[in-house]
A and B are shown apart, each in its own frame.
Chain A
Amino acid sequence: MAATSIASKSIVSKSIYKSGRYANKRQFKNKLAQWLITLGGISVLFTLVLIFLYLLYVIKPIFASAEIEPIQSIETELSAKVFSIGIDELKELAYFIDGQGLINFYQIEESDFRDVGSKVLSQALLLDDVDNTKLKLLVDGSDKKLLIDNHNRIHLISPEFSASYIGDQRDIIPAITYPLGEESLVIDEQAEPIENIAFAMNDELAVFVAFTKDHRLIKTTFTAEDDFNYDPAYETQYQQISFQEKQVDRILVTPDLAMAFVQSGNKVFVYSLDDEDDVPLKALINPVGTTNMRSSAKELPTKELTSMALLSGGSSILFGNSQGEVTQWFEVATDNGREFKQIRHFEVSNNEAITNIFTEKYRKSFYTITASGEIGLFYTTSEADLWRGNLLGVQPTAFSIAPRADGLLMMKGQNLQLFSVENEHPEVTWQALWQEVWYEGYPEPDYIWQSSSGSDDFEAKFSLVPISFGTLKAAMYAMLFAVPIALSSAIYTAYFMTPALRKKVKPTIEMMEALPTVILGFLAGLWLAPLIENYLPAIVLLLVFLPAATLLTAFSWHKLPEKMKKRLPETLAPIILIPVLILAAYIAFTLSPVLEIHFFGGDIRQFITNDMGINFDQRNALVVGIAMGFAVIPTVFSMAEDAIFSVPKHLTSGSLALGATSWQTLIKVVLLTASPGIFSAVMMGLGRAVGETMIVLMATGNTPILDWSIFQGMRTLAANIAVEMPESEVGSSHYRILFLAAFVLFVFTFVFNTVAEFVRQRLREKYSSL
């Protein structure tokens, strides 16, 4: 080749000078072609790099931490204390409720109708019969606020926003609604002042838990006659909860109306609200208690419980203490029934008390605030420490998370300040993907892949461990099946077979590589899986029968008279063995039901599940191993055969001439020389097994479990992508994690293939030097 190109260059360069324009034109064409072809050649490399970079580009955002940036600050006419602030979904209108009983809406983002900072609406919160200026805000929910008036009656209000379109322009219109009607509500029959209260409601029920000035803890339930959304009419039930403490700091009610948390000092009482007639104490949590005793021995400052909040979904509760720690607790099934346990803790700040914890509505993120205005953003499931900083320099007088969790609104003096929050993928961290995570409701930390569910506040479980494990398991069983068959076939075909037979056999086996894997998968799922289930003993028998039958045939052939041996030479062994092996398999399958009746009580599947206690899936690793093994055999066979066949002939001739048998030559000379080639063949096969999609998709149940059992299925990276990609939302964490799975596959196979190719090239050079 090298000689050719040199020759061509010299000849071409001479011909340029021969004649004028025509030669120039030809020369130009030649150059142009060279450029284009080079470009075309390099585009192959470009494609591979593009795939690599694009996958990275999609994955990158999931590992980015959060960013919080100030975007707007407006001056308001706040004159008294601020009770509550909030913002609409599109972050256009912000509001605050002040001590005058007024709600004021301000434009905080540019709109087509108003300037930034203009007041849109200012309205008294309640109707005329109440003194609005004496109102107090007791519960500042993200969408519902609970106010108490001077008659110790309460009111629920909810600021709402609606969009109206004028042409193509959108206008956001604010309004106040009253979820339980405009009438005031009586929580305490005895009309004592209420010191602390919490509530939660759904369409039919509203539950209030309150602590009165005369130290009574009460539960008040409003049951809608129909549905609160249409009709605020209700029935009331008053209950007193047995409670001895003289002080209550905070109360929380879970959104599913199942539990109430009542904090008194460092103790948190958990009451069950499910029961209609009784409000039993369910548990007593001591979030700082155990550490307290130890630290007092060392005479360290004691820990105080300074804040608590419910995480999205209401299954977990967060406690903040005076030493800057936040702990997450939820109920866990233990031997003694369900108990609250501390799951994880976050070091939020150095010894500074956490005065407030705010949680996002739909995700498991939370913000912490300390007295000095230090703000932290965390995510529980992934234990991600997303952002820390001091945005205002002081503690904000009011704080609110935008409904879509993409912004923060804070009040500092008279200033309403809006910050953008970029926190798209808090649930993904490297640890959460690859390490055990303690998910809500699970008894212990575990590796789980469960990407979606019906509910909004579902805790997505993205552990790549079970599916990576499934990938390796499937590949391992496939290789266990494929490698012995492929290598023995390769050895025989390359070394012992006559050229005439080899010419037929090699393309036939290689034909298997061309078979679409969807067909192998379909046969595995619909034909092989039931077959194996019904004839499991036969499969085990085959492991013994096939080699035994082969050896028996070999021995009989050995004992044949010489004349017969000539007629039926050993080189025809593979052909001779075909009917023998088919017969052996037939016998194994006929014996199978007999064995089943005599040893396994008639049904081996029941025997395995009941007597041996092993779960048996119809579509299991055995089926995948065999089916994917078939897909891998031709890859390994073809490359290993090439490597063995191209071992230089003088090596074998030398060995044979020195008196070694052909088997000795094979083991000591041929295989040794070809071993790098065989290694690269196995690597290529492994690469293929790891990335195979359709067979695993169709031949397993696709359950992401961590179990080596041969009778259980698995879910692999590739199958997982095929199953979930069409349903994942573009740009979501799920979508990006699936890209990550593809990237892992890409890197995996890239390493295998590159190593295999290097080894092969080295081998080729070695052969040529021999």
Chain B
Amino acid sequence: MLRRTWISALAASAVLGAGLLAGPALRAEPVAADTFVRQVSTDVIDAVKADKAIQAGDVGRIRALVDAKVMPYVNFQRMTASAVGPQWRGATPEQQKRMFEEFKTLMVNTYSGALTQVKDQSVVVKPLRAGADAGELVVRTEVRGKGEPIQLDYRLEKAGEGWKIYDVNVGGFWLVEAYRGQFAKDLNAGGLDALIAKLAEKNKSLAAAKS
């Protein structure tokens, strides 16, 4: 069990990952990737700290927040496609749409748990590496709170004048990779339809547990 202490850190910062995603709308002007990450993380942590309903895990409220302020900054299409892997290309548009919706619901549910964990943490954005004007890059941050600092990195792609997030790394573990591992068994056994059914069932039981 001692070996699992880092998992608490992992969960606590999944929050801040969630937090970052939930940033307020940034104006469409050219902004450096690290500035983008810094602005949004600070704003979000402040917003979560100020909102008792979100801290208490109010799902409706979190869902509204995510829809209005997270989705514009995330290339969720790309995340879904790479979490599913090769089978995504063979899927019908209808399957893709259902998969997209169920995955999104699962992510929002994940956030609603994670957002309740934000307390006295702060985020330090590390200086950008070489090639800061590249089309795709990694911004590294560190979440400081009590105990060990937690690594929290973002994969960003250029989207017009701004940036979109297409993967998040919590303590060394990329989110897309995590879901690829979770999806593999159902995809191998019954294809995309089996996976969609599994996700739908999971989402239903989570919704039932909350109401």
User: Are the chains A and B members of one assembly?
Assistant: no
Q: Hey, which bits of chain A sit against chain B, CB under 8 A?
A: none
Q: Which residues on B are within 8 Å of A, measured CB to CB?
A: none
